[in-house]
């Protein structure tokens, strides 16, 4: 690779001069210089200086089968030689999206049998929003066009994704969202449950906020509810068991479509192929991306339930929507190989029966007791650690988010890549992690917590 002719300083200077990064303060970045990741293998990533880091984030919630898989590179190479690109517009198709769609219909919940492709989670959510609104137009109810989402939801960064999402900082910069999207409370018991309120009751109350929003707008005006089964970027917020069944009951009662965003939870993360299966949810659309290819190629798949798909077919007429790269043959070839590897290695079952429960126990037994930790929680291989100043009162350190950044910085210095979001550390490792890898991670995180605590005491 030609980058080897450049020093880290040179790469950082060129990066600062020419490369605008996502979700980045470019003034800060210029001062600090980017960390340049150059290669990776299995569960480890390496920077330009040769530092090895255990990747606790699977890239960005996506590299589920780990790094360095020759089989995926070979699948891409073979497909590029045979047919690098052809479109799937104008009654054309290519073989790999056809076969991938069949595979996805096999592993998806029973009521889901159709797939619409894009290149990112944001695009797939754009498709989902267009599709549910189009559905109600086809059903003769064009006024049923509002969507209910949740505060702190993350549904991507395009205008539709940002509008569906519930991140205040993003909405402020949007300065004018897609209309008719409202945001209700999130099912986050740690901060929002009332004193003495059980998890069960809190889950029902959070679900009730969905019903309240439907009633306020009028059921004949509400197209759909959208939610991440477990809120990811918002801080791995795992809803109480009572939440999803109640949300589903409410959606059915008022004939409101249920849209799941499984961009993070899809393809094994919660110990089933999809979190819809973990929580027993029957959804009308399921947005997926990321681990569909383990991040080796950009690809998203909007899984479309029978109710919407059959209306599209029965009513006919063109759905005026699609992307140049919808069903990209190379990305789909890579996805097929990725799903084959997940199956062959039994990674979903391993998360459900072995590493998921082991991860939960390890966080509980080795991290939860630390003075800085208010709560740990996990589902499958997806976890959160709440950083607090006072365990009993849940008081946070000020300024907000600073303690979690201190933990993260010490973690990275100790060979562990994990992320801070607000005052929460989040973990989403590759599904190839074993019990030994989990032990290694807990040891490094424990050390980072100790070192951060020493710093915070000095402040
Ligand atoms: N939905 C969900 C639930 C996501 O997590 C998207 C949609 C958008 O996908 P694309 O492929 O358009 O990025 C995501 C993406 C973070 C972080 O900081 C998370 C995401 C993206 C960027 C940063 O945790 N998730």
Question: Within this chain, do residues 258 and 376 fall inside the same structural domain, yes or no?
Answer: no
Q: Which domain holds residue 421?
A: 35-65+346-458
Per the domain annotation, does 46 fall within a domain? Answer: yes
- 280: domain CATH number? 3.40.640.10
Residues facing 116 on adjacent strands: 302
Which of the listed residues 343, 375, 402 is the one where a domain comes to its end? Answer: 343
**Cross-sheet strand order for the sheet of 52-55:** 37-41, 44-47, 52-55, 416-417
| Residue 383 tokens, joined | 């976890």
Res 459: pLDDT = 78
Res 1: pLDDT = 54
The DSSP call for residue 118 is: E
Question: Within this chain, do residues 396 and 254 fall inside the same structural domain, yes or no?
Answer: no
Question: Within this chain, do residues 61 and 91 fall inside the same structural domain, yes or no?
Answer: no
Which candidate, 428, 441, 451, 446, places its Cα nearest to that of 59? 428
Strands (E) located in 316-423: 373-379, 382-387, 416-417, 419-421
Res 407: pLDDT = 98
Ligand 1 atom at minimal distance to the Cα of residue 125: 7
Per the domain annotation, does 193 fall within a domain? Answer: no
Cα 410 to middle of ligand 1, angstroms: 25
Per the domain annotation, does 256 fall within a domain? Answer: yes
| Residue 366 tokens, joined | 């080795």
- 61: domain CATH number? 3.90.1150.10
Question: Within this chain, do residues 294 and 367 fall inside the same structural domain, yes or no?
Answer: no
3-state secondary structure of 285: strand
Encode the chain (459 residues) as per-residue pLDDT tens digits. 568 899 999 999 999 999 999 999 999 999 999 999 999 999 999 999 999 999 999 999 999 999 999 999 999 999 999 999 999 999 999 999 999 999 999 999 999 999 999 999 999 999 999 999 999 999 999 999 999 999 999 999 999 999 999 999 999 999 999 999 999 999 999 999 999 999 999 999 999 999 999 999 999 999 999 999 999 999 999 999 999 999 999 999 999 999 999 999 999 999 999 999 999 999 999 999 999 999 999 999 999 999 999 999 999 999 999 999 999 999 999 999 999 999 999 999 999 999 999 999 999 999 999 999 999 999 999 999 999 999 999 999 999 999 999 999 999 999 999 999 999 999 999 999 999 999 999 999 999 999 999 999 887
In this structure, the residues whose C-beta lies within 6 A of any atom of ligand 1 are: 60, 120-122, 125, 154-156, 161, 228, 232-233, 261, 263-264, 289
Question: Within this chain, do residues 379 and 262 fall inside the same structural domain, yes or no?
Answer: no
Question: Within this chain, do residues 97 and 162 fall inside the same structural domain, yes or no?
Answer: yes
Question: Within this chain, do residues 91 and 128 fall inside the same structural domain, yes or no?
Answer: yes
Per the domain annotation, does 205 fall within a domain? Answer: no
| Residue 392 tokens, joined | 């009993």
Helices 121-138 and 306-315, packing angle to 10 deg: 60
Degrees to nearest 5, angle at CA 303 with 169 and 213 = 50
Per the domain annotation, does 11 fall within a domain? Answer: no
Cα 156 to middle of ligand 1, angstroms: 5
The answer to whether 372 touches 403, Cβ cutoff 8 Å, is yes
The answer to whether 117 touches 89, Cβ cutoff 8 Å, is no
Per the domain annotation, does 191 fall within a domain? Answer: no
Cα 407 to middle of ligand 1, angstroms: 23
The answer to whether 279 touches 269, Cβ cutoff 8 Å, is no
Question: Within this chain, do residues 61 and 180 fall inside the same structural domain, yes or no?
Answer: no
Question: Within this chain, do residues 259 and 383 fall inside the same structural domain, yes or no?
Answer: no
Degrees to nearest 5, angle at CA 77 with 75 and 78 = 65
Other Cβ atoms closer than 10 A to 50 = 8
Res 404: pLDDT = 97
> Atom 20 of ligand 1 has which residue's CA nearest to it?
233
- Residue 360 has phi, psi (to 5 degrees) of -60, -45
Per the domain annotation, does 18 fall within a domain? Answer: no
Which of the listed residues 293, 317, 343 is the one where a domain comes to its end? Answer: 343
Question: Within this chain, do residues 156 and 55 fall inside the same structural domain, yes or no?
Answer: no
Question: Within this chain, do residues 262 and 132 fall inside the same structural domain, yes or no?
Answer: yes
Res 458: pLDDT = 86
> Atom 16 of ligand 1 has which residue's CA nearest to it?
233
The answer to whether 295 touches 307, Cβ cutoff 8 Å, is no
- Residue 420 has phi, psi (to 5 degrees) of -110, 135
> Atom 22 of ligand 1 has which residue's CA nearest to it?
60
Which of the listed residues 343, 360, 378 is the one where a domain comes to its end? Answer: 343
> Atom 17 of ligand 1 has which residue's CA nearest to it?
233
Question: Within this chain, do residues 79 and 179 fall inside the same structural domain, yes or no?
Answer: yes
């Amino acid at each position: 690779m030609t980058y080897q002719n450049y020093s880290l300083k040179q790469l950082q200077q060129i990066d600062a001069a020419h490369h605008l990064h996502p979700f980045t303060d470019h003034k800060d970045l210029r001062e600090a210089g980017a960390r340049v990741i150059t290669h990776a293998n299995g569960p480890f990533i390496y920077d330009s200086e040769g530092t090895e880091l255990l990747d606790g984030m699977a890239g960005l919630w996506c590299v589920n089968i780990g790094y360095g898989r020759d089989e995926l590179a070979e699948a891409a190479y073979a497909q590029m030689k045979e047919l690098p690109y052809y479109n799937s517009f104008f009654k054309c198709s290519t073989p790999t999206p056809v076969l991938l769609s069949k595979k996805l219909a096999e592993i998806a919940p029973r009521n889901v049998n159709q797939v619409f492709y894009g290149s990112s989670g944001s695009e797939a959510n754009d498709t989902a929003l267009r599709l549910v609104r189009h559905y109600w137009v086809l059903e003769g109810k064009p006024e049923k066009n509002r969507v209910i989402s949740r505060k702190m939801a993350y549904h991507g960064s395009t205008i539709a994704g940002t509008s569906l999402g519930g991140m205040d900082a993003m909405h402020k910069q949007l300065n004018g969202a897609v209309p008719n999207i409202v945001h209700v409370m999130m099912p986050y018991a740690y901060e929002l449950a009332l004193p003495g309120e059980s998890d069960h009751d809190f889950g029902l109350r959070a679900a009730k906020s969905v019903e309240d929003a439907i009633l306020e707008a009028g059921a004949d005006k509400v197209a759909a509810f959208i939610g991440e089964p477990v809120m990811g970027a918002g801080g791995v917020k795992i809803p109480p068991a009572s939440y999803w069944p109640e949300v589903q009951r409410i959606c059915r009662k008022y004939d409101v479509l249920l849209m799941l965003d499984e961009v993070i939870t899809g393809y094994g993360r919660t110990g089933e192929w999809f979190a819809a299966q973990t929580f027993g949810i029957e959804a009308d659309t399921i947005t997926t991306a990321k681990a569909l290819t383990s991040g080796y190629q950009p690809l998203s798949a909007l899984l479309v339930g029978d109710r919407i798909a059959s209306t599209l077919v029965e009513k006919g007429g063109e759905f005026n929507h699609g992307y140049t790269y919808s069903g990209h043959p190379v990305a789909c070839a890579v996805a097929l190989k990725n799903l084959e590897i997940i199956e062959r290695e039994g990674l979903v079952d391993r998360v459900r029966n072995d590493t998921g429960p082991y991860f939960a126990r390890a966080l509980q037994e080795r991290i939860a007791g630390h003075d800085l930790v208010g709560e740990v929680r996990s589902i499958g291989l997806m976890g959160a650690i709440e950083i607090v100043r006072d365990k009993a009162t849940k008081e946070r350190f000020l300024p907000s988010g600073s303690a979690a950044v201190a933990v993260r910085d010490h973690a990275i210095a100790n060979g562990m890549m994990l992320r801070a979001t607000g005052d929460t550390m989040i973990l989403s490792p590759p599904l190839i992690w074993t019990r030994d890898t989990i032990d290694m991670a807990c040891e490094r995180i424990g050390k980072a917590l100790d070192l951060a605590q020493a710093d915070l005491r000095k402040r």
